[in-house]
């Protein structure tokens, strides 16, 4: 019988790519998610019955243990960018990660891959960064041979980074950004999946890997590249941190006063803290080179999915050609 991997958060942005690649390796894939009915799109990643969504609540021991029963490897992709209800940073990124590792150790599962983030720091003033570090510590406490991946900002077809800002260009001539000088090292989602698969297959040494693409650029430079891809001219406005802090405070307060009926998906005070710090691979850190992976460039991927934000969408190039003919 083929081996089995349980991927927690396997229908999410990164998880779905890992699920597809693990199925391609011939493994049975169990996709553990809160809403299995919304994860049915993963089933065609493999043969009939090879990839199956299952119900799992990462905050519950019994649920997590059942989802990994009989597995040969587990991968944890669960994380939150914004707290909502009981799915806060502490419960999901710290306690949840430790719970998966503890139960995997109890069940004798040999391999674990954990998706963390560059910037994970137990001493950080950001709850996001601090709980990422706590999650890593919990994983290593119970699964000391785990492979931990720390990607920079991840891009790809379903990303919430370039898609979000490209969508904002439809609203007017200005594109406001916070932390315009902050540096990022964007990494392609399928490259992160390749690294995770190597860990699950036992082809990567245990330890922490920081994953960044081949280019380091400031936030402003990334927006300029995006604008070039979507053929739009916009004025990038560098919003001062003090202005952004007032905005984030008001939005967080509105979320609190509405009892979270109106979640703050725009800018939180915690996100603002992270935007003050560069998000790049640290000097001397293990990375893609140690895994034998050559990461994709922004230039090779962005046009494949950002074309829909061009003024004429998929017909933009056709219109440009027609104008040249008319001349």
Q: Domain range spanning residue 105?
A: 4-155+186-214+278-293
Higher pLDDT, 128 or 315: 128
What the block records as the tokens of 132 is: 């990422």
Kindly state whether residue 17 falls inside one of the protein's structural domains: yes
CA angle 129, 135, 141 (to 5 degrees): 140
In a domain, 320, yes or no: no
Among 67, 63, 39, CA closest to 53: 39
Share the mean pLDDT of the chain.
Answer: 95
Q: Which of 112, 100, 115 is nearest to 193 (CA)?
A: 115
Q: Are 99 and 64 in contact (CB under 8 A)?
A: yes
At residue 327, the pLDDT reads: 55
What's the CA gap between 57 and 8, in Å, rounded?
10
Identify whether 137 is part of a domain.
Answer: yes
For residue 259, the model assigns a pLDDT of: 86
Q: Which residue has the tokens 């390749």?
A: 194
d(CA 9, CA 280): 25
Residue 287, domain member (yes or no): yes
* φ/ψ of residue 136, rounded to 5: -60, -45
pLDDT tens-digit map of 99-152:
999 999 999 999 999 999 999 999 999 999 999 999 999 999 999 999 999 999
Burial class (CB in 10 A: 0-12, 13-18, 19+), 66: middle
CATH (domain of 112): 3.40.50.720
pLDDT of residue 261: 84
- For 286, the 3-state DSSP assignment is strand
Task: Examine the pLDDT at 236 and tell me if it is beyond 90.
Answer: yes
Query: Mutual orientation of helices 15-24 and 189-201 as an angle, nearest 10°?
Result: 50
Q: How many independent structural domains does the chain possess? A: 1
- What pLDDT does residue 48 have? 95
Q: Is residue 162 part of a domain?
A: no
Short-list 166, 149, 148, CA closest to 157:
166
pLDDT of res. 312: 80
Across the range 181-198, mean pLDDT stands at 98
pLDDT at 262: 86
Q: Looking at residues 179-185, what average pLDDT do you find?
A: 98
* Token pair in block for residue 124: 């950080």
In the chain, % of residues over pLDDT 70: 95
pLDDT band at 297 (very low <50, low <70, confident <90, very high): very high
Q: Which distant-in-sequence residues (6+ apart) come within 8 Å of 44 by Cβ?
A: 51
Confidence grade of residue 324 (pLDDT, cut at 50, 70, 90): low
- H or E stretch at 309: none
């Amino acid at each position: 019988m083929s081996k089995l991997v349980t991927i927690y958060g396997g229908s999410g942005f990164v998880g779905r790519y890992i699920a597809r690649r693990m199925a391609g390796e011939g493994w049975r894939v169990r996709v553990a998610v809160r809403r299995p009915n919304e994860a049915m799109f993963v089933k065609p990643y493999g043969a009939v019955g090879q990839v199956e969504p299952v119900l799992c609540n990462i905050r519950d021991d019994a649920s997590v243990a059942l989802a990994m029963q009989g597995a040969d490897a587990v991968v944890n992709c669960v994380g939150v960018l914004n707290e909502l209800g009981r799915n806060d940073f502490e419960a999901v990124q710290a306690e949840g990660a430790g719970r998966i590792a503890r139960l995997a150790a109890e069940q004798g599962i040999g391999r674990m891959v954990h998706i963390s983030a560059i910037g994970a720091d137990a001493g950080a003033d950001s709850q996001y960064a601090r709980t990422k570090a706590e999650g890593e510590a919990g994983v290593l406490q119970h699964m000391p041979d785990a492979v931990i991946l720390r990607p920079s900002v991840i891009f790809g077809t379903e990303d919430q980074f370039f898609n979000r800002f490209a969508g904002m260009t439809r609203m007017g001539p200005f594109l406001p950004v916070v932390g315009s000088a902050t540096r990022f090292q964007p990494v392609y989602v399928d490259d992160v999946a390749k690294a995770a698969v190597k860990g699950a297959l036992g082809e990567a040494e245990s330890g922490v890997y920081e994953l960044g693409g081949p280019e380091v650029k400031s936030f402003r430079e990334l927006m300029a590249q995006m604008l070039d891809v979507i053929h739009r001219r916009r004025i990038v406005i560098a919003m001062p941190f003090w202005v952004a802090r007032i905005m984030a405070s008001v939005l967080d307060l509105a979320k609190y006063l509405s009892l979270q009926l109106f979640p703050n998906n725009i800018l939180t005070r915690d996100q603002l803290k992270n935007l003050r710090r560069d998000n790049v691979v640290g000097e001397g850190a293990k990375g893609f080179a140690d895994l034998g992976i050559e990461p994709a460039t922004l230039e090779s991927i962005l046009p494949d999915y950002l074309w829909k934000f061009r003024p004429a969408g998929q017909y933009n190039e056709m219109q440009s050609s027609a104008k040249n003919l008319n001349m």
